Amino acid sequence: MTREPVADWSAARSDKWRRHLAGMEAMLAPIDEPLFRALVLTSPVRVADVGCGGGSTTIEAWRRAPRGSVAHGFDLSPALIEVARRRFGAHDGSITFAVADMGTMSPPVPAYGCLISRLGVMFFSDPHAAFANLRGWLVPGGRFAFAVWGPVADNPWLKATRDAVAEAVDLAPIDLSAPGPFRYGNVLPLVSLLGRVGFVDVSVTDWRQVLPIGDQLSAPDAARFALASFSSFAEVLARAGGDAPAIAHSALASRFAPHEHQGAVLMPARVHIVTGRTVAP
């Protein structure tokens, strides 16, 4: 049985994200709307973006925040931070990007008024220590909004891809207790953990929508995109060799075909938007 490697954001994994950045960002862009709606930025604020990747959500935070706000993106990957800086870095310091392990990096001075993350908080090796650390990144009364994936069963964009790959190779079940995108599919343990490390008013909004797989792609191209960029399916299929990549592609293109509308494959997705704050002064 082939184990799908844990999403540990090694250099190889961030390199893959970077190579497929445009398609991934276009696919995930709809999540920004509920994420920022949950945060409500009404007065100038310092925002930190946790696991900012190529920086598109960091720049979105800066654009949506009132004039005088700053947005700083932090990510484990030097290659992604390099891309973010090249695309969006502003010389006046209002938008900056830095390499950081947000699970362990000491809180900066001054601390931030808001923390946001689009799908960047599910990968900490020690979540208790990491979220306790993140609490120190916020000023008293500071707020956070984190987007995390809902259960795999409610995310057919991934389930269809896994099922198609499983037609070609044996896949081990996803280990939901390990760092990985679906770790907080059942969000209750995360809510409880955030309360235990000292956040208050923790609540969850459920967001269900369709996402365009890789942006504007036909079913066969979307299948190619998904197999190349999601999880470690490309590596698993390459290792299997033979007809495996072609079998998986054909199986996935057929699964995507009914979801193709006006030149895009629109697959249902479910995301939890988790919000809360630190105790006010």
Ligand X SMILES: C[S@@+](CC[C@H](N)C(=O)[O-])C[C@H]1O[C@@H](n2cnc3c(N)ncnc32)[C@H](O)[C@@H]1O
Considering the rule CB under 6 A, would residue 53 count as an interface residue with ligand X? yes
Question: Which CB atom, from 16 or from 249, has the smaller least distance to ligand X?
Answer: 16
Considering the rule CB under 6 A, would residue 14 count as an interface residue with ligand X? yes
Q: Segment contacting ligand X (CB under 6 A): 52-60, 164-172, 198-206, 211-219?
A: 52-60
Considering the rule CB under 6 A, would residue 80 count as an interface residue with ligand X? yes
In whole angstroms, the minimum distance from the beta carbon of 54 to ligand X comes to 6
Q: Segment contacting ligand X (CB under 6 A): 101-109, 136-144, 221-229, 232-240?
A: 101-109
Closest CA to 119 of 31, 213, 197, 195: 31
In whole angstroms, the minimum distance from the beta carbon of 1 to ligand X comes to 25
Distance between CA atoms of residues 71 and 179, nearest Å: 26
Q: Segment contacting ligand X (CB under 6 A): 86-94, 97-105, 191-199, 266-274?
A: 97-105
Question: Which CB atom, from 75 or from 260, has the smaller least distance to ligand X?
Answer: 75
Contacts of 53 (CB under 8 A, 6+ apart): 17, 21, 25, 75, 77, 80, 84, 120
Q: How many helices (H) and strands (E) does the chain have?
A: 11, 8
Q: Could you tell me if 163 and 248 are in contact, meaning their C-beta atoms sit under 8 angstroms apart?
A: no
Considering the rule CB under 6 A, would residue 32 count as an interface residue with ligand X? no
Considering the rule CB under 6 A, would residue 75 count as an interface residue with ligand X? yes
Considering the rule CB under 6 A, would residue 38 count as an interface residue with ligand X? no
Quick one: which of 2, 23, 48, 56 contacts ligand X (CB under 6 A)? 56
Q: Segment contacting ligand X (CB under 6 A): 35-43, 98-106, 169-177, 267-275?
A: 98-106
Q: What does residue 41 show for φ and ψ, rounded to 5 degrees?
A: -95, 105
Considering the rule CB under 6 A, would residue 25 count as an interface residue with ligand X? yes
Closest CA to 100 of 146, 137, 148: 137
Closest CA to 101 of 74, 82, 121, 137: 74
**How does 166-187 read in b/e, with b if 16+ C-beta sit within 10 Å?**
eebbebeebeeeebbbbbbbeb
Note the residues at the interface with ligand X (CB under 6 A): 9, 14, 17, 25, 28, 51-54, 56-57, 74-77, 80, 100-103, 118-120, 123-124
